[in-house]
Amino acid sequence: MNSETGKTALITGASSGIGQELAKLFAQDGYNLVLVGRSDEKLDRLGEVFKSNYGTDQVTVITKDLAQEDAAQDVYNQVKAKGITVNVLVNDAGVGLYGLFATDTDWEREKSMIHLNVLSLTQMTKLFLYDMLARNEGKILNLASLLSITPSPLMAVYAGTKAYVYNFTQSLVNELKDTNVSITALLPNATDTDFFNKANAENTKITDELQDPVMVAKAGYDALMAGKPKIVPGGLKNKSYEVMAYVAPQEALAALMRDKMSQKPEPEEKEPMISLAWGIGFGIAVIAGIALTIGYKNASPYDKVRYKYKAKSASDALSNTLSSVFDKVAHSVVDAYQTTKGKAEKFAHKEEEMLEDATA
């Protein structure tokens, strides 16, 4: 369907993974493309595929390593020199690095990662956003991560860069709310791309639960087109991870992520940490229970009905997440959560009865 013929989308990191799948979606929808990456050969081949399969009118390839100083400015200058108007900017390019920050990782690679994931993304956004606001038209998609909202030992600097991307994007959502320009953060879980190989994390436990990049790209594309501020692809499981990131203690989240990012055990090794899982589950339960009771206590009678419904939905989603996250110890974690949730609901019900008696 060529619904957007004549418009142009600029995609960084388009040569593979989520970026390539996003470029395909834009091509299918009739956009002209500006593809930015380090390999002109890959991007040229991709452009020919789009022209052949989707009838893409114009594919412009810009070979540039965005980890270099002022690379974003050079990309912008080339686009302007070609007379191209960028209607959609997709900041997908990014890399990771695995290992203990103090002893395992290399500073030059970390500095390059910060430049790519943070500085170039910010400069690309600033340059093209200015033109979009002048036209009062445009869309931007920034690739964040579920790690944007949780600590991630063994990928500390990468997680820090993605926390920046998410916070930066949500701040701009507010700044742009009275315009026809929108910006969206895409927060995928671990995805089946070459990311973990390049980050030297190919044998970590998290790689056993990789998501399909086609699904991730489609979710991001749809959210971008709808002007949503953020999207967490992957259905209930990943949205429940998001809920957990907001209510669980940071120390518990860090311990959980440290385990997920650790190397896969040898076949004869046993999975440890039943007590850790219990502690995480109990911590989540306590925080969620407190939030439930305080929120209910301060609500109006009308809002209490809505609050109870939302709290039940969130708690059920969290329980579903816990049952999938903690595998062998899931039942103990969920029991801890449901026990505390039950106490909170009894407290809320008792207060409701007292309120009814007082107003009778």
pLDDT in tens, 45-60: 999 999 999 999 999 9
pTM, two decimal places? 0.75
Query: Does 278 lie in the same domain as 230?
Result: no
In a domain, 1, yes or no: no
Question: Among 225, 253, 281, which residue terminates a domain?
Answer: 253
Query: Does 99 lie in the same domain as 213?
Result: yes
Q: Which of 158, 166, 241, 337 is catalytic?
A: 158
Query: Does 279 lie in the same domain as 182?
Result: no
State residue 89's pLDDT score: 98
State residue 18's pLDDT score: 95
Given 3-state DSSP classes, what are the helix, strand and coil percentages for the chain, each rounded to the nearest 5?
60, 10, 30
Which one has a higher pLDDT value, 218 or 268? Answer: 218
In a domain, 261, yes or no: no
Mean pLDDT calculated for residue range 271-288 = 48
pLDDT in tens, 80-96: 999 999 999 999 999 99
Query: Does 286 lie in the same domain as 153?
Result: no
Reduce the DSSP state of residue 16 to 3 states and report it.
coil
Question: Among 227, 253, 279, which residue terminates a domain?
Answer: 253
Looking at the predicted structure, is the pLDDT value of residue 120 above 70? yes
Query: Does 95 lie in the same domain as 29?
Result: yes
Answer whether 246's CB lies under 8 Å from 283's CB.
no
pLDDT in tens, 99-116: 999 999 999 999 999 999
State residue 112's pLDDT score: 96
In a domain, 291, yes or no: yes
Query: Does 275 lie in the same domain as 241?
Result: no
In a domain, 262, yes or no: no
Which one has a higher pLDDT value, 298 or 84? Answer: 84
Whole-number average pLDDT of the chain: 81
Helices of type H across 190-329: 195-198, 213-226, 235-247, 250-260, 274-297, 301-325
State residue 356's pLDDT score: 52
Residues paired with residue 258 on neighbouring β-strands, in sequence order:
none
Residue 86 belongs to domain with CATH number: 3.40.50.720
| List of residues 6+ apart from 225 with CB closer than 8 A | 139
In a domain, 193, yes or no: yes
Mean pLDDT calculated for residue range 176-202 = 86
Query: Does 240 lie in the same domain as 321?
Result: no
Give the residue numbers spanning the domain of 111.
8-253
Is 241 catalytic? The answer is no
Query: Does 206 lie in the same domain as 278?
Result: no
State residue 192's pLDDT score: 65
Please give the tally of structural domains in the chain: 2
Query: Does 246 lie in the same domain as 108?
Result: yes
Which one has a higher pLDDT value, 235 or 125? Answer: 125
Query: Does 239 lie in the same domain as 205?
Result: yes
Query: Does 278 lie in the same domain as 163?
Result: no
In a domain, 2, yes or no: no
In a domain, 258, yes or no: no
Query: Strand 230-231 and strand 181-186: pairing?
Result: parallel
From start to end of the chain, where are the E strands? 8-12, 32-37, 59-63, 88-91, 138-143, 181-186, 230-231
Query: Does 278 lie in the same domain as 167?
Result: no
Which one has a higher pLDDT value, 352 or 90? Answer: 90
- Mutual angle of helices 156-175 and 107-114, in 10-degree steps: 10
Whose CA is closest to 147, among 110, 91, 191, 103? 191
In a domain, 49, yes or no: yes
Reduce the DSSP state of residue 193 to 3 states and report it.
coil
Amino acid at 292: L
